[in-house]
Amino acid sequence: MRNYRELVVQTMQDPQEAAEYLKASLDEYEQDGNLEAFLLALRSVVEAQG
């Protein structure tokens, strides 16, 4: 059984999914200022994309 992080990384291997995920994360950051959450999203995409 995979954990949430593994599922996110697998999903982020798709460039279109990754772009949408980062856009949503950036939008949320602009609203709430939660830099830690945005950086975690960015890390997931970087890890998935290599």
Residue 1: predicted pLDDT:
67
* Contact by Cβ (8 Å): 17, 11: yes
The residue among 25, 18, 24 whose CA lies nearest residue 39 is 25
- How crowded is residue 45: how many other Cβ atoms within 10 Å of its Cβ? 20
- pTM recorded for the entire structure: 0.82
User: Using one digit for the tens of pLDDT, what is the confidence trace for 18-38?
Assistant: 999 999 999 999 999 999 999
Q: Where are the domains of the chain?
A: 4-49
For residue 2, what pLDDT is reported? 77
Question: For residue 9, what are its two tokens?
Answer: 């990384």
